[in-house]
A and B are shown apart, each in its own frame.
Chain A
Amino acid sequence: MSEAAILTEGLGKSFGALAAVSELNLKIQPGAVYGFLGRNGAGKTTTMRMLLGLVRPTKGSARVLGLDPTRETELIRILERVGFVPQRKQLYGWATPAELVRMNKAYFPRWSDDAAARLAQRLEIPMNTAFKKLSIGNQSKVALLLALAQGAEVLILDEPTAGLDPMMVDEILRTLIEDHISQGRTIFVSSHHLGEVEQICDWVGILEGGRLLLESRLEEIRQEFRLVIASGEGLPVSTSTDLVSATTDGRFQRYVVAREAERFAAELRTHGATILEISPVGLRELFLHLVRKEDACTPGNVGAKAAPVSSFS
Chain B
Amino acid sequence: MYAWKCWRESRARFIFLLIMFTVTALLFTLQQGLEVRDGWWYFDRSEYIRNPGPTAHVVFSMILSVLWCSGFLSAVFLGATASGSEIEPGTIEYLWTRPRTRASVTWTHWSVCAAEMVAVAVVPIYLAAVLLATLTKHWDFPFLFFAPWMIVIVGLPVLGLTTLMTALRRSTSGGLIYTSGVVIVYAILRQIIIVPLHLNPPTLFAGPLVWLVNNNQFGVPPIAFPWGSLWRAVFLAAAFPLAAQYLLKRTEV
Contact = CB atoms under 8 A, between A and B. Distances in A.
Contacts of B101: 72, 76
A80 B99 CA distance: 5
B93 A88 contact: yes
Interface string B96-121: 11111100000000000000000000
A108 B89 contact: no
Contacts of B4: 103
Interface string A73-108: 000110110101010101110110001001110111
Contacts of A53: 96
Nearest to A146: B94
B11 to A, nearest CB: 10
B5 interface: yes
Contacts of B249: 72
Contacts of A99: 8
Contacts of A106: 1
B97 A90 contact: no
B253 interface: yes
B90 A94 contact: no
In this complex, which of B1, B91, B94, B100 has the most chain A Cβ atoms within 10 angstroms of its Cβ? B94
Contacts of A95: 8
A90 B90 contact: yes
Nearest to B250: A56
A107 B98 contact: yes
B98 A54 contact: no
B8 A54 contact: no
- Interface magnitude class on chain B: 10 to 19
B100 A107 contact: yes
B140 interface: no
Nearest to A91: B94
Nearest to B97: A84
Contact of B253 (A55, A76, A84, A108): A55
Contacts of B93: 54, 84, 86, 88, 90
A94 B100 CA distance: 22
Contacts of B90: 88, 90
A128 to B, nearest CB: 15
Contacts of A108: 99
A79 B97 contact: yes
B97 A54 contact: yes
A265 interface: no
A72 B93 CA distance: 16
A99 B9 CA distance: 13
B38 interface: no
A21 to B, nearest CB: 13
B173 to A, nearest CB: 16
Contacts, number: 56
Given A94-B8, A103-B5, A76 B91 contact: no
A55 B252 contact: yes
A43 to B, nearest CB: 15
Given A54-B93, A90-B93, A91-B94, A79 B252 contact: no
A90 B91 contact: yes
Contacts of B97: 52, 54, 79, 82, 84, 86
A126 to B, nearest CB: 19
Contacts of B91: 90-92
B5 A92 contact: yes
B253 to A, nearest CB: 5
B100 A54 contact: no
Contacts of A80: 99
Contacts of A102: 1
Interface in A33-67: 49, 52-56
Nearest to A87: B93
Interface in B1-28: 1, 4-5, 8-9
Contacts of B94: 86, 90-91, 143
Interface in A183-233: none
Interface string A244-277: 0000000000000000000000000000000000
Contacts of B252: 49, 54-56
A53 B249 CA distance: 10
A103 B1 contact: yes
Nearest to B252: A55
Contacts of A143: 94
A56 B249 CA distance: 11
A148 B93 CA distance: 17
A14 to B, nearest CB: 12
Nearest to A82: B97
Contact of B99 (A49, A88, A92, A107): A107
B253 A79 contact: no
Nearest to B12: A94
B221 to A, nearest CB: 51
Given A72-B249, A76-B99, A108-B99, 5 more contacts: A54-B253, A86-B94, A95-B8, A102-B1, A107-B1
Nearest 7 A/B pairs, CB to CB: A106-B1, A90-B90, A79-B99, A80-B99, A86-B93, A107-B98, A55-B252
6 contacts: A54-B252, A54-B253, A86-B94, A92-B9, A95-B8, A104-B98
